[in-house]
C-alpha cells in the first residue's frame, strides 16, 4: 500500500497515512489539530517501479563529490 501525505489547511501539518489507492482522495483528519480540512499532497511515496533512471546526478564533481565543481583529477 502506498503512503499518502495530507497537508492540513488549518495548521499546515502533514499527516501521513497508509491507504488503499481507492481511499487516497477520501478526507482524513489532521493528526495534529483534528481538522478534516486536509488536502492530499503530490509527493506520494509509492513502491518503486524498479528502474530509478530518473535519478539526477548531483551538481559538482562526479568523482570526489566536491560541490564546487570538477576537482581536476
Ligand atoms: Zn491540522
- Per-residue pLDDT of 11-65, as tens digits, reads 999 999 999 989 888 889 999 999 999 999 865 555 555 555 555 666 677 777 7
Q: What's the gap in Å between 40 CA and the centre of ligand 1?
A: 13
CB atoms < 10 A from the CB of 14, how many?
A: 14
User: What's the pLDDT at 8?
Assistant: 95
pTM for the full predicted model: 0.55
Secondary structure letter of residue 56 according to DSSP = P
Q: What's the gap in Å between 3 CA and the centre of ligand 1?
A: 18
- CA–CA separation, 21 vs 23, rounded Å? 5
Q: What's the gap in Å between 5 CA and the centre of ligand 1?
A: 13
Amino acid at each position: 500500500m502506498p503512503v499518502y501525505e495530507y497537508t492540513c489547511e488549518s495548521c499546515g501539518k502533514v499527516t501521513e497515512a497508509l491507504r488503499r489507492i481507492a481511499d487516497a482522495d477520501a478526507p482524513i483528519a489532521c493528526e495534529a489539530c483534528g481538522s478534516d480540512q486536509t488536502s492530499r499532497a503530490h509527493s506520494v511515496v509509492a513502491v518503486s517501479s524498479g528502474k530509478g533512471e530518473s535519478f539526477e546526478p548531483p551538481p559538482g564533481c562526479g568523482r570526489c563529490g566536491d560541490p564546487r565543481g570538477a576537482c581536476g583529477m
